[in-house]
Every structure is written in C-alpha cells, then in structure tokens.
Structure 1
Amino acid sequence: MGSSWQQLLILLLVVVVIFGTKKLRNIGSDLGGAVKDFKKAMKDDQPKDAEFKKISEEVEQTSVENSKQKEQA
C-alpha cells in the first residue's frame, strides 16, 4: 500500500513537467513564508497566554476572598 521511491520520483517528475521549476520555486517560497509567519504569530501569543494565566489567578484569588468575607458576615 505504501509508495516506493520509484513511484515518488515519477510523481515528482510529472509535477515538475506540469508546473515547471519556476512556479514550484515560487510555491515553495510562498509556503515557507506562510510557515514563518505562522510560527511568529504563535510565538507572539505566548506572552498573552502568560498574562491570561496571571489574570485568571488574580480573579480566582479574589473570588476566594469574597467567599470568605460572605461566610464571616
């Protein structure tokens, strides 16, 4: 069921003949740029996740304090 290396080579040759090397180079460049931008966006989101966690902990702490105050009253 798997593909042999000969089948993959034939498929690669057919793709090169159909699209041409210049078009494939452009597609590869565009795909590489998209992956790079995606990784950058994921990296930029990490500080936001840390900030969200900090705020979430503060809200939880405030909720616990409010519950204690209600129990004492």
Structure 2
Amino acid sequence: MGGIGIWQLVIIAVIVVLLFGTKKLRGMGGDLGGAIKGFKKAVKDENDTTDLDKKAPESLKAEKSEQKD
C-alpha cells in the first residue's frame, strides 16, 4: 500500500522529459556532475592540507603562518 512501483517511475520520467526536454536535462546533469566533482576535489584538497599540517614539523608550521601574515 502506497509504495512507488516501476510504472509510476516510468510515467514520472516521461512527464519530466516532456516538460524539460532531453537537451535541458543533459545540461542539468552535466552541471550537477561538475558540481559534485568540484565538491569532491575541495574535500580532497582540504584533507591533504590537514594531513600535511599534522605531519609538518613545528618549524615549517611557523614559516607557513609567517607567510600568511
């Protein structure tokens, strides 16, 4: 009772394609993929810099903070 079956999903997909068109959906998919890729890259870069900070000796940390000022 109340579950969404395969036929309801097919009907929803057909309505979405009719409303937006395949070209618009392809563009939105590309934009979404690019955003996810950018997010993953930012998270990876943040993790890399945090790992470097943990491994760096105190003298390198001091030099790094002086460069920011």
Pairwise same-fold verdict (TM > 0.5):
yes
Per the TM alignment, residue 6 of structure 1 is displaced from its structure 2 partner at its CA by: 0.3
Per the TM alignment, residue 54 of structure 1 is displaced from its structure 2 partner at its CA by: 4.9
Task: Provide the rounded CA distance (Å) in 1 between the counterparts of 2:39 and 2:46.
Answer: 11
Task: Provide the rounded CA distance (Å) in 2 between the counterparts of 1:2 and 1:54.
Answer: 52
2:32 equivalent to 1:31: yes
- 1:31-50 equivalence runs, <5 A: 31-50=32-51
Contiguous gaps of at least 5 residues in structure 1? 59-73
Task: Provide the rounded CA distance (Å) in 1 between the counterparts of 2:50 and 2:7.
Answer: 47
Equivalent residue number for residue 3 of structure 1: 4
What number of residue pairs does the alignment pair up? Answer: 56
- TM superposition outliers: structure 1 runs of 4+ over 4 Å: none
More helix by share: 1
The sequence identity of aligned pairs, in percent, is: 52
Is the alpha carbon distance of 1:2 and 1:49 closer, same or farther for their aligned partners in structure 2, counting shifts above 3 Å?
farther
Contiguous gaps of at least 5 residues in structure 2? 59-69
Q: What is the TM-score with the length of structure 2 in the denominator?
A: 0.70
Which protein is bigger by CA-based radius of gyration? 1
Task: Provide the rounded CA distance (Å) in 2 between the counterparts of 1:3 and 1:31.
Answer: 25
2:14 equivalent to 1:13: yes
RMSD: 1.6
